[in-house]
Structure 1
């Protein structure tokens, strides 16, 4: 018979942790988006004594642990944080000192049925869509990729009091991450997107960005793309 006495470090929450130092690692427009925090933590260890008889293992004290490796559930959260930093840098507008910026976009449709450049589908076989502009075609692609926020519809042209052309307004973004942070961040700060006729898709000022609670941002849309593109 053979006695095995493995030792492992406990991966759960440590007994006590004390913050030793905190420094800003990534800063944009005076706002710290990522910190390096040094913690002094007590490490716990435990031992399990097992008895091996032939090919059978027994726990002497009845308190054996499972050594199976488990996936880190915080990976998506960490990856989304890194992506947010990247998007903040890419979407930075030096002209008005804002981050996570978008652009106003719109599409037209004629109630008579001649063309509907706001259609969500049918672009490949609807002959009426040939009249649509490149901007409207680009907007259609962005809607399909969930890169837009719809602001509403209004009448853009009337004849004898009858509306003959309507427009739909959107805020369009270069990435899903920017759209998510704009949509939920502005809601937190009670900021709007302007009006249907005059959209405001500008990003956050340094002061506004500092007030956004990123822990309350729902990144589930981004996680879907992350998991779909992940190579295991």
Structure 2
């Protein structure tokens, strides 16, 4: 039975309220004259039979992972290719750099083109995409040679619509044994629905884009995205019925 209550606030609040209180109950035990006190404490303190321990709350980074996962789902919805039923499809792009000469249209990420006027519009655009973190470099091959001497090389990339698409492709392909092909025959295909279902996003490193998503707090509706993807799949099969 309840015996009494004592406020443990230090210092006491001026309005008479109490945040942490000690409640003492009398619990008769057969054959015993002593009645042990029981305690119920508030906030981050847990007490049993008079022994109190603080509750230590560990910081969690699961929120960032959840935000990225939701954004991955939202991006999957926007990048779903109805014609091939694939997700996060890329495009093969390349740029040339002369072995002897100033015309280098493959400056690399973060490095400006030295002579952009000597590069094609597609090469200038590729440089911009690479700087934005949208491209994955597959490799280099010799595109022009004379008497066994390479005169011009081409760097080949797979470029995607977003950073998260590139990261999912870079870290997802090894999980399912999907290769990038070769520089002369690049494979920039998207994931099939079955392949995407096999990916383990929890082991992927999204550090590169954490701040972008967490700061913006762009949280798509998971259910709505799934429904829209399903509707696109059904529409595809309905349109291609024999």
Common topology (TM > 0.5): yes
8 Å CA contact 1:48–1:64 kept in 2: the answer is no
Closer/same/farther in 2, CA of residues 160 and 187 from structure 1, 3 Å limit: same
8 Å CA contact 2:67–2:214 kept in 1: the answer is no
TM-score calculated relative to the size of structure 2: 0.65
Q: Which runs of 5+ in 2 are unaligned?
A: 1-5, 8-17, 22-38, 44-49, 218-242
Identify which of 197, 200, 203 aligns with 2:187.
200
User: What SS does the aligned partner of 1:183 have?
Assistant: helix
Question: Where does 1:144-183 land on structure 2 (aligned, <5 Å)?
Answer: 144-183=131-170
Closer/same/farther in 2, CA of residues 147 and 49 from structure 1, 3 Å limit: closer
The higher radius of gyration belongs to 2
TM-score calculated relative to the size of structure 1: 0.67
Identify which of 122, 125, 134 aligns with 1:138.
125
Pairwise CA distance, 1:93: 1.2
Question: Where does 1:81-96 land on structure 2 (aligned, <5 Å)?
Answer: 81-96=69-84
| Inter-partner Cα distance in structure 1 for 2:120 and 2:181 | 24
Identify which of 37, 41, 55 aligns with 1:48.
41
> How many correspondences in the alignment?
180
Pairwise CA distance, 1:70: 8.8
Which of the two has greater strand per residue? 1
Work out whether 1:100 is the aligned partner of 2:88.
yes
Closer/same/farther in 2, CA of residues 70 and 213 from structure 1, 3 Å limit: closer
8 Å CA contact 1:48–1:65 kept in 2: the answer is no
Match of 1:63 in 2: 52
Match of 1:76 in 2: 64
Which of the two has greater helix per residue? 2
Q: RMSD of aligned C-alpha atoms?
A: 3.1
| Inter-partner Cα distance in structure 1 for 2:144 and 2:81 | 33
8 Å CA contact 2:65–2:202 kept in 1: the answer is no
Pairwise CA distance, 1:129: 2.4
